[in-house]
Amino acid sequence: MNTSSSLRYLCFAFFVSVLIYCGMATAARCEDTKEKIKDAPAAITIEEFDSAVTQTIEILKREYYKEFELTEDTLTATIRGLLSSLDEPYSRYIPSKTYWKSKNQDLETYGGVGVSLDFTEDGVMVFRTVENSAASKAGIAPGDFILEVEGVEAKAISKEELHELFAGEIGSDIKLKVKKGDSERVEEFVFKRCILHTVDAEGEMLEGSIGRLKISEFGSHVYAQTIAALEDLSKSNLKGLIIDMRYNPGGLAYEAALVSDIFIEKGPVMVLEDRDPKKNTTLYAKTDHSIPDVPIVLLVNKYTASAAEIVTAALKHYRNFPVLGETTFGKGLSQRHITMADGSVLSLTTARVMIAGELDINDKGVSPDFEIVPEKGTDEEIEDLQKLTAAQKEKLPDPVLDKAAAFVIGLVEKNESSGKRSLE
């Protein structure tokens, strides 16, 4: 090959390599652009949305292999599809018949199986089982997932529709399909519905004169029950207090503010932060209460959620009560029921909950000051434990509670040696 040919060959090779490099760079830029487009969908107008939906309906009516007609189910599926595009799992659509039936249900005639549920990104999770209920006796436990109720996929419907499926005449059967915790094991159950008697807050004395205030849920009576439990505990030789909110799924934000108010002298417990600051709602602590002048700690776990997290974060912030256990669930969004023209309801996330007006717990939870994590047994031990009834589980040791009690006893001894009583 002569010099001229070699030069032409090198120039050609260089030109080809440049083309290949540019092509690769362009492809990379295209991939980056695709990722950006994927991350940020283009906004469309209401008119464009309406036009696309209308065209889809027209095509379905004209081209679908079976006759297609619009029904209430079509409307429900459309609205739920719209809500599923939101970046949180809590907003739900409740059809009119379902909502008003659940509101007007006769609690003396209808019963359930004893589970507290909430929607998570992973599905419908059990946060709490009612003591001595059919569910707890069968071994259903916090962390289990309800897959089906009466053959209906649980995560495909609203919480109110789930409630409607669970509720029924006392003594009637209900079928559940349940996934056990983090395992892939799925079990099917048939229960008989019964009337459920629940207490949201109650006290008990542990060894060493340490009191335990167990708050299981934030229902409409939890504030009064908490006051009564504290009064009973104070009559004993109370030296320290554990506020136990493990497995508490939350409940009413107003009740959470009232319970926080028992321990906080004054200040904003929470701000419900709307996207329009003018619509923000602040719930304050403002009532003077006489509480036990003893060391107080908070005991939580990964199933402590929503209203229970509000109380945990508020008491940690204002009173510096030590938090023991695990990082909590991380639900810091508030929903409001908005009634539509046809009587159906949107349970819509309308505000972010800011503790003390400044602390955001959503997707973060409340981190413990002192971590106490339950020891994880072998697969065989876990399987054996899941087979136990609630009554049998009650007789088992609670090593996490024992460690929390030992921690409080340590604070009591420290305060007594220094001449102090309360923990500030």
Residue where a domain stops, chosen among 158, 192, 226: 192
Residue where a domain stops, chosen among 85, 114, 133: 85
- Looking at residue 21, its pLDDT comes to 38
226 and 248 both lie in a single domain:
yes
155 and 246 both lie in a single domain:
no
Please give the residue that has the higher pLDDT: either 397 or 280: 280
55 and 114 both lie in a single domain:
no
- Looking at residue 384, its pLDDT comes to 64
- Looking at residue 386, its pLDDT comes to 60
CATH number of residue 112's parent domain: 2.30.42.10
Q: What CA–CA distance (Å, rounded) separates 239 from 209?
A: 6
327 and 307 both lie in a single domain:
yes
Confidence band for 105, pLDDT divided at 50, 70 and 90: low
Note down the domain range covering 76.
46-85
295 and 414 both lie in a single domain:
yes
Name which of 2-16, 22-36, 226-240 the model is least confident about: 2-16
Q: Is residue 16 part of a domain?
A: no
Q: Is residue 223 part of a domain?
A: yes
Q: Is residue 412 part of a domain?
A: yes
Q: What CA–CA distance (Å, rounded) separates 128 from 200?
A: 11
Q: Is residue 11 part of a domain?
A: no
Q: Is residue 35 part of a domain?
A: no
150 and 75 both lie in a single domain:
no
3-state DSSP of the chain: CCHHHHHHHHHHHHHHHHHHHHHHHHHHHHHHHHHHHHHCCCCCCHHHHHHHHHHHHHHHHHHCCCCCCCCHHHHHHHHHHHHHCCCCCCCEEECHHHHHHHHCCCCCCEEECCEEEEEECCEEEEEEECCCCHHHHCCCCCCCEEEEECCEEHHHCCHHHHHHHHCEECCCEEEEEEECCCCCCEEEEEEECECCCCCCEEEEEEHHHEEEEEECCECCCHHHHHHHHHHHHHCCCCCEEEEECCCCCCECHHHHHHHHHHHCCCEEEEEEECCCHHHCEEEEECCCCCCCCCCEEEEECCCCCCHHHHHHHHHHHHHCCCEEECCCCCCCEEEEEEECCCCCEEEEEEEEEEECCCEECCCCCCCCCEECCCCCCCHHHHHHHHCCCHHHHHCCCCHHHHHHHHHHHHHHHHHHHHCCCCCC
186 and 207 both lie in a single domain:
no
Q: Answer yes or no: are the C-beta atoms of 134 and 115 closer than 8 Å.
A: no
172 and 276 both lie in a single domain:
no
Give the predicted TM-score (pTM) of the model. 0.79
Residue where a domain stops, chosen among 31, 54, 85: 85
- What pLDDT digit, counting tens, does each position of 232-256 carry? 999 988 999 999 999 999 999 999 9
247 and 187 both lie in a single domain:
no
CATH number of residue 397's parent domain: 3.90.226.10
135 and 234 both lie in a single domain:
no
Q: Phi/psi at 36 (nearest 5 deg)?
A: -65, -40
- The domain tally of the chain equals 3
Q: Is residue 38 part of a domain?
A: no
172 and 220 both lie in a single domain:
no
- Looking at residue 368, its pLDDT comes to 97
Q: Does residue 20 have a pLDDT over 70?
A: no
Q: Does residue 319 have a pLDDT over 90?
A: yes
Confidence band for 394, pLDDT divided at 50, 70 and 90: low
Q: Is residue 211 part of a domain?
A: yes
137 and 231 both lie in a single domain:
no
| Over residues 336-345, mean pLDDT | 92
Q: Is residue 322 part of a domain?
A: yes
